[in-house]
Structure 1
Amino acid sequence: MKNHPRKSGRFQFIQFSIIGASNALIDIGTLNLLLLLFHSNQSTVLLLFNTISYTLAILNSYIWNANITFKRTSEGSTYQRSAFIVQAIVSLVISNVVFIVAHSLFMIMEMPAWWNYNIAKVLAMALSSLASFFMVKFFVFKDY
């Protein structure tokens, strides 16, 4: 293991949140671009768009968090890469479920489409990011 100074959980959460903001820009920006180019209300298409946007954001997350937030415990080992993929899939499932459920509820409320997509996406990002932080900290880059 590399010899980097130990960071407090609070400092790690702040770093994770800053990186999360760049992930959010990628995630919501990609979703909006896809919706602008290929507008759809079909759940399968929305799941595809959400999965694409989330996947781009999670790749960004791995690069930055492995090199900054969890640098002390990041080894780039097969275990860590595999564990990161598992947590990414779990977080993606959370994101997709929250996005589709929120979108469906907002459609019932007859909310304008742009607001519907973006508020549903923000809820999905918030819940999946929170789950992701704890899985990454305690499962992927755990501190022995």
Structure 2
Amino acid sequence: MGQSTKKSGPFQFFQFGLIGVGNAAVDIGTLNLLLLLFHTEDGQLLLLYNTISYCLAIANSYFWNANVTFKRTSKGSKYQRIAFIIQGLISLLISNGVFIGLNTLMEYIGVPNWIRYNIAKGFAMFLSFLASFFMVKYAVFKDFGKNNDS
């Protein structure tokens, strides 16, 4: 078994995390740009903005993780693409739930909107990042063995 045969554990999590920093920049940058251009207090629009920003980040995530972090097990198969979309949708639900829930809680206690949007987004990104890592590692780009090339 050569060094390229297996890459896992802390190093893989570190790579995923570095890519996650780029994804976070796309995610929070897009959200803040939308809020700057089309400011709103409406919960449905906030949900839409969060969804748009998250979807851009998840597309960025797929590109980089398939080509870097999970390159050895990424085959671009139909299964992997569908599994990635499913994990993305689950992570989006986590992100939206945390974002809207925490934003609502902080609004109730009087935290100014720009601060609460970004705090809620930060928590949403962190929790969806953790969920995404484990789903991507153990379901999407799972190493099914050398003999399974589909």
Partner of 2:44: 44
CA drift of 1:5 comes to: 2.9
> Within 1, Cα distance between the matches of 2:12 and 2:62?
14
> Within 2, Cα distance between the matches of 1:130 and 1:58?
13
**Structure 1, unpaired ranges of 5+:** none
CA drift of 1:8 comes to: 2.4
> Within 1, Cα distance between the matches of 2:112 and 2:81?
40
**Structure 2, unpaired ranges of 5+:** 145-150
Kindly provide the amino acid, as one letter, of the partner of residue 134 in structure 2. F
Asked if the contact 1:4–1:71 (Cα under 8 Å) also holds between the matched residues in 2, the reply is no
Partner of 1:9: 9
4+ long deviations beyond 2 Å: none
CA drift of 1:143 comes to: 1.6
Partner of 2:147: none
Partner of 2:97: 97
CA drift of 1:113 comes to: 1.1
Determine which structure has more spread, i.e. the larger CA radius of gyration: 2
Partner of 2:35: 35
1:1-144 pair list within 5 angstroms: 4-144=4-144
> Within 2, Cα distance between the matches of 1:42 and 1:103?
11
Q: Give the TM-score normalised by the residue count of structure 1.
A: 0.96
CA drift of 1:4 comes to: 4.0
Computed over aligned residues only, the root mean square deviation of the Cα atoms, in angstroms, reads 1.1
Count residues with an aligned counterpart.
Answer: 142
Kindly provide the amino acid, as one letter, of the partner of residue 96 in structure 2. N
| CA distance 1:4–1:75, shift in 2 (3 Å) | farther
Q: Give the TM-score normalised by the residue count of structure 2.
A: 0.92
